[in-house]
Amino acid sequence: MRNSFWLRLGAAVVFVSLAVASINMPLKAQQPGPAPAQSNPLNLTAAQKTAIGALQKTAQTKYTALQTNTKLTPTQKSEQLQALNTWFRDQSLAVLTPSQRAIALAHQKAMMAQNAAKQALIAPKIAQLKALAAKLKASLSPKQKTDISTLEAAQTAQTRALLSDKTLTMQQKQSQYQVIQQGNLTKFNAIMTPAQLQMLNQLNAMQSDIRQIAGGPQGQP
């Protein structure tokens, strides 16, 4: 049970929202910033590189804070990701000359077309993922829900005790944590029916498929 079952099930909707929003982020790994440092298609001056580098650092800080903010709903994160992307684009364009700006905007137009193609591929997969997550959740009996919650509470307690054990080295803790996970995974599989485990595996495969499409040009990673 590598991650909490309830977190994994609930994360399906969160994941979908962020995956769609992150398609519009301009850098590899969906993080804000200019083109990779090794390329300079706009023939940026040293001053321009410095200015855009500062913008990138600011955007990265905001991006990290946004991604780790547990108080935001998936919708709020999606909206703020879009706003951050717009802010970085506008600030970066202001640093460029008119000719550089024309090249950058042409590139942005091409990227938007590529992103639209990705979203078209993802849309039906999102609907399937949401439907399957709801079906799996509805299939759980009251006893299964109780057993899963009890198992996860026990794992949390085991993990906290392990982390607070000052007699163990980090390597020993990692090794024992793997043992805890494997033991609880066996118990978890015993709680679920074969059909439910199959649905859970399908959910994981769907998320991987959506992530692959969102991360690469027109579905290629």
Q: What is the pLDDT of residue 57?
A: 92
- The per-residue pLDDT for 35 is 41
Residue 194: pLDDT band (50, 70, 90) is: very high
The whole domain housing 187 covers 5-219
Q: How do residues 10-25 score in pLDDT, each as one tens digit?
A: 444 444 444 444 444 4
Backbone angles phi, psi at 20, to 5 degrees: -65, -45
* Average pLDDT score over the chain: 80
pLDDT of residue 5: 56
Contact yes or no for 84/32 (Cβ under 8 A): yes
| Structural domains counted in the chain | 1
**Are the C-beta atoms of residues 114 and 217 closer than 8 Å to each other?**
yes
The predicted model gives 101-107 an average pLDDT of 89
DSSP string, the chain: --S-HHHHHHHHHHHHHHHHHHTT-SSGGG----S-TT--TT---HHHHHHHHHHHHHHHHHHHHHHT-TTS-HHHHHHHHHHHHHHHHHHHHHHS-HHHHHHHHHHHHHHHHHHHHHHHHHHHHHHHHHHHHHHHHHH--HHHHHHHHHHHHHHHHHHHHHHT-TTS-HHHHHHHHHHHHHHHHHHHHHHS-HHHHHHHHHHHHHHHHHHHHHHSGGG--
Model confidence over 53-92: pLDDT tens digits? 999 999 999 998 888 888 888 889 889 988 998 999 899 9
Position 21 scores a pLDDT of 45
Structure tokens at 8: 């994994």
